[in-house]
Structure 1
Amino acid sequence: MLVLSLLSTFVSFVMVLCGLWSFVSNYKHLLSVLLSLEFIMLGIFWVMVICLTQVGLEAYFILFFLTMAACEGALGLSLLISVVRTHGNDCFGSFSILQC
């Protein structure tokens, strides 16, 4: 049982690191940035689930974190829709500094 929990903790840390690598390397489009942020949030959520269930704490904090992650995703998608409607695409290179 201990080996399984250590393996799942390692996999969740790899998820977070892969999300960070994707966030740093694929910054040309807003959609790829938002997807990598969601992947990081899922990795952190999995780390929290593993750690808090081993300790035996209540699941309310995990549910609160999951609610905040869903709100962050909805806010990011609404920002993506707004940017695509105003600028025509989600490429960061097409944004002008002179536009408001």
Structure 2
Amino acid sequence: MKIVSLLGVGVIGVMLGGVCLMSQRKSLFGVLLSMEVFTLGGYVIIFSVFWVLAELSSLCLIFLALGVCEAALGLSVLVSLIRGVGSDYVSGLVSGHF
């Protein structure tokens, strides 16, 4: 029963991250945060599936490492954008001043 609830939390996390990702229109920081929620939801799903199979593979750690790399790259792009343009608004990217 706990595994089903853990899988449900992962599915809700993925859906919440997807909805937030699609609804972000102003800030790149909000997009990065919603992608992190999406990644953590995917990690919870993968972890619960491997827990049911009683085979905690190294795939969980690989996925978590890729999520950390994604976060580090996103943060570096955010810092570069703020230094170059002066804000993290997506409308600044459309005007082509980046």
Same fold (TM over 0.5): yes
* Contact 2:47–2:56 (8 Å) recurs in 1: no
CA distance in 2, matches of 1:20, 1:27: 13
Please report how far the alpha carbon of residue 27 of structure 1 lies from its aligned counterpart in structure 2 after TM superposition: 2.7
Please report how far the alpha carbon of residue 74 of structure 1 lies from its aligned counterpart in structure 2 after TM superposition: 0.2
2:91 corresponds to which residue?
93
1:79 corresponds to which residue?
77
Alignment of 1:36-75 (within 5 A): 36-75=34-73
Matched to 2:34, the amino acid is S
Question: Which of the numbers 5, 12, 15 marks the counterpart of 1:7?
Answer: 5
Matched to 1:37, the amino acid is M
Alignment root-mean-square deviation, CA = 1.2
Give the TM-score normalised by structure 1: 0.90
| Superposed CA offset, 1:17-66 (max 9, x none) | 01101001123110000000000000000000000111022331100111
Cα separation, partners in 2 of 1:13 and 1:59, compared to 1, 3 Å: same
2:31 corresponds to which residue?
33
CA distance in 2, matches of 1:93, 1:58: 44
Matched to 1:61, the amino acid is L
Give the TM-score normalised by structure 2: 0.92
Matched to 1:69, the amino acid is G
